[in-house]
């Protein structure tokens, strides 16, 4: 049964990720991959919220937790797109933007999770 929750959560997360990308492609013209950055940071925040919510209220619903953490956050975040966009930036000679993308993305996500789950 858990596969169904992962499937639905992943689908919803992917749809939100796609919608965010479409919106930002219309409204952002910079070379920094903002849609991927935002989706990864928001996914970390959602994951933190789910973890803290389940711990605080001592909820034992394994299926919803898996659906949200593995499914939704997995579908909403995107390491493969992050990696691909970074390589494209490097190949196009945007080395500084590529380095900034890696440093900012990894640092922000790790710091958020570290600070908010203490």
For 26-45, how does the pLDDT look when each residue is reduced to its tens digit (9 = 90+)?
999 999 999 999 999 999 99
pLDDT of residue 54: 87
- pTM for the full model? 0.91
Instruction: Give kind and range of the element (H or E) at residue 48.
Output: helix 34-57
pLDDT of residue 90: 98
The number of CA neighbours under 13 Å toward the Cβ of 86 is: 17
Domain that holds residue 71: 2-24+33-116
**Looking at the 3D structure of the chain, how many domains does it have?**
1
């Amino acid at each position: 049964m858990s596969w169904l929750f992962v499937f639905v959560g992943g689908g919803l997360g992917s749809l939100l990720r796609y919608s965010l990308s479409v919106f930002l492609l219309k409204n952002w013209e910079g070379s920094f991959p903002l849609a991927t950055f935002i989706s990864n940071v928001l996914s970390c925040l959602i994951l933190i919220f789910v973890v803290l919510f389940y711990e605080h209220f001592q909820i034992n619903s394994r299926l919803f937790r898996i659906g949200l953490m593995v499914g939704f956050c997995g579908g909403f975040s995107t390491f493969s797109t992050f990696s691909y966009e970074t390589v494209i930036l490097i190949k196009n000679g945007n080395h500084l933007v590529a380095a900034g993308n890696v440093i900012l993305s990894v640092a922000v996500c790790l710091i958020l999770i570290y600070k908010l789950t203490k």
